[in-house]
């Protein structure tokens, strides 16, 4: 055994680092191992997912996903997360310069419009969209809300629009209905972004 280690000398304990790293990776759950490998290496294949158990809410969207890697315990229940396709595929280079500290490829006010240029193709464009302030409403890295929204329903719109001013107009009859039922949040050929 002594001959084996003397023949393959590792400087500065590299052997032990590799050995204990290997032990660490073997002990992790598949999800944790995938996160570690994805952090250090590009091109790690997506984690194979076993069929997720999902409960549907009234809107029909998946409201709860159970991690079946540790099946048998409700403590493994995790909310569904929505990701931008490039984020979900570990394609950081779609928006970030991976060789320069992950800086954005373009200024934030124009980056989203490189792919989503249709959001400005209308007679009326919502000012945050026109100014490239997409991150006022969306998180491209992932959220618990569909369409990568930071908030849902009226709460999203009332970040900027005064609720009392809106509800004291013809909108008083809408109740808790989402603004997007009648209004397109990005653009429209109709005044007030009506659909």
Q: At what angle do helices 14-27 and 30-40 cross, to 10 degrees?
A: 140
Percent of the chain with pLDDT over 70: 64
- The predicted-structure confidence for 77-95, as pLDDT tens digits, reads as follows 567 888 888 888 888 899 9
Long-range own/partner contacts, residues 53-59 (CB < 8 A, 24 or more apart): 54/80
pLDDT of residue 55: 33
Q: Are 80 and 145 in contact (CB under 8 A)?
A: no
End-to-end CA distance of the chain: 76
Every domain of the chain and the residues it spans: 108-195
Tell me the pLDDT of the chain averaged across its residues.
76
What separation in angstroms does the CA of 141 have from each of 35, 97, 144, 191?
15, 16, 11, 32
Q: pTM of the predicted model, to two decimals?
A: 0.60
Tokens (6 digits) for 29: 């759950």
pLDDT of residue 70: 47
Which of 19-33, 60-74, 165-179 is modeled with the greatest confidence? 165-179
Residue 137: how many CB atoms within 10 A of its CB? 20
pLDDT of residue 128: 95
Q: Which residue has the higher pLDDT, 138 or 65?
A: 138
Tokens (6 digits) for 184: 């397109």
């Amino acid at each position: 055994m002594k001959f084996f280690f003397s023949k393959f000398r590792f400087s500065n304990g590299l052997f032990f680092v590799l050995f204990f790293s290997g032990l660490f990776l073997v002990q992790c759950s598949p999800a944790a191992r995938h996160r570690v490998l994805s952090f250090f290496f590009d091109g790690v294949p997506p984690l194979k997912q076993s069929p997720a158990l999902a409960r549907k809410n009234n809107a029909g969207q998946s409201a709860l996903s159970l991690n079946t890697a540790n099946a048998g315990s409700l403590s493994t229940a995790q909310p569904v997360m929505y990701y931008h396709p490039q984020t979900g595929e570990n394609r950081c280079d779609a928006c970030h310069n991976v060789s320069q500290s992950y800086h954005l490829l373009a200024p934030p006010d124009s980056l989203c419009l490189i792919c989503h240029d249709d959001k400005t193709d209308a007679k009326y464009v919502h000012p945050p969209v026109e100014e490239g302030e997409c991150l006022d409403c969306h998180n491209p890295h992932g959220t618990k809300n569909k369409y990568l929204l930071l908030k849902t329903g009226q709460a999203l719109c009332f970040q900027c629009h005064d609720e009392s001013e809106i509800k004291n107009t013809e909108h008083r009859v809408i109740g808790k209905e989402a603004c997007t039922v009648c209004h397109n949040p990005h653009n429209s050929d109709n005044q007030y972004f009506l659909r």
